[in-house]
Amino acid sequence: MINRVIDILIFLLWLAIVIIYPMLISMYVTMPLFIGFSGLMFIIGLEEDNYWKVVFSLIYMINLEINLSLPILLIVIAITIFYFLIRTRLNFLKLCPVCIKISTVLFINLIYFLLLFAYDMINAQSSVNYDSFILFSLLYDIIAAVLI
């Protein structure tokens, strides 16, 4: 009984983080985006058949794009491109799971920012300022991926 209550509380805590954190990013622009980490959780959820990780990462990604006024589902497109084109070619890193996590986060962020840059070029607008905050966000993303 107590274990069930603890599981429900942990579930509600993660749901609150997934819903509230993107709102905080829209107010405090120096907070990391965790785009690659959410993509990593999405891929891990797909590979382990853990659908709660998939649902939480999708909620986080859509909430992040809505709160930052970014093109909707561009993160999902970047993850899909990575998963089908690059993830299968990372088999040589099987002996180093941390290397797989770091490369996954780096590639997802790279693909996302390239897609966002192309979107900005096509629409002649500027969605994101490409400055040092992006590098700090990438660093925090890698640290979060290594810690799981």
Least confident of 6-10, 26-30, 62-66, 85-89: 26-30
Helix (H/G/I), strand (E/B), else coil: 52: helix
* Number of domains the chain is built from: 1
Radius of gyration of the chain (CA): 16
Mean predicted confidence (pLDDT) in 83-87: 91
CA distance 73 to 95: 32
pLDDT over threshold 70, residue 121: yes
Question: What's the pLDDT score for residue 131?
Answer: 67
Query: Which domain does 100 fall in, by range?
Result: 2-147
Question: What's the pLDDT score for residue 130?
Answer: 66
Percent of the chain with pLDDT over 90: 38
CB 45 within 8 A of CB 51: yes
Taking only the tens place, the pLDDT of each residue in 103-118 is 999 999 999 989 988 8
- What's the predicted TM-score (pTM) here? 0.88
